[in-house]
Amino acid sequence: MTRSGTAPVTDNKSLSGKVALITGGSRGIGAAVARRFAAAGSPVAIGYQARSDAALSLAAEITAAGGQCLAVQGDITDADAAQRIAADTVARFGRIDILVNCAGVAPYRPLGAMDAAYVRAILDANVLGTVLVTQAVLAHLTAPGGRIINFASAMAFRPVPTSSIYAASKAAVVTLTHAWSKELGPRGITVNAIAPGVIETEMTAAILTERRPGIVASTPLGRIGQADDIAGIALFLSSAEAGWVTGRTIVADGGVT
């Protein structure tokens, strides 16, 4: 899809027949990844927790453009739900070749204003959810040849004030990625992560309203990142061309880090 949300005209079928499960796939970066993968020939399952309207709308859009898409609901922080998300994907498409762990949350609070519930909610969504879904998918993942792509954040490398717990959760994802690549390498499964900077999505609307000129000024490429910028990296990491890349986190923030 293009940045305006319309289907691109493309002959690129680099993921033809490769089944992808994308958590957090109903909007933002996850939706851009789903569109890009579908355009490349991948049947996609988009995982969502609450926004059924967005998920079903995206599934219908991809199907209308000639792709295959399944919307699967579930809370990734619940082990049973994670297992069901994986099982529903396999029931529809027969297997899973690519897992994209894109679901997460990003609330900021300053030190002194955090309570246990706040900390747990971030760690559960960003770390526990990544672990539970990956474990649920592992039994179904193509080996050799499987791909796991986790979503970290540039904040893992350059945290800003009030971002400490979010940044720490994404630093954990970087470490999980590196460690899992060692475990799964002998099975021919690659594990990589993408660490975006500020990307223009619904989640970043407030911060961009407040700080857009400053963010643009501090970015060497001189603009705000778009969801499709990140989807292109996910497409590469899922492709045959990335078969010798594993355990790496790609920082994609326009040169800020």
Q: Which residues are catalytic?
A: 166
CB 46 within 8 A of CB 71: yes
CA-to-CA dists, residue 230 to 18, 30, 149, 245, angstroms: 19, 9, 12, 17
Each as own residue / partner, the long-range contacts of residues 159-167 (CB below 8 Å, 24 or more positions apart, any chain) are 161/110, 162/108, 162/109, 162/110, 163/108, 164/111, 165/109, 165/114, 165/118, 165/119, 165/122, 165/123, 166/105, 166/106, 166/107, 166/108, 166/122, 166/126
- The helix or strand, by DSSP H or E, that contains position 20, with its residue range, turns out to be strand 20-23
Cα within 13 Å of Cα(83), Cβ side: 3
CB-CB neighbours of 162 under 10 Å: 15
- State the DSSP string of 96-143: BSEEEE---------TTS--HHHHHHHHIIIIIHHHHHHHHHHTTB-T
**What is the DSSP secondary structure assignment for residue 241, as one 8-state letter?**
G
- Return the biggest CA–CA distance within the chain: 53
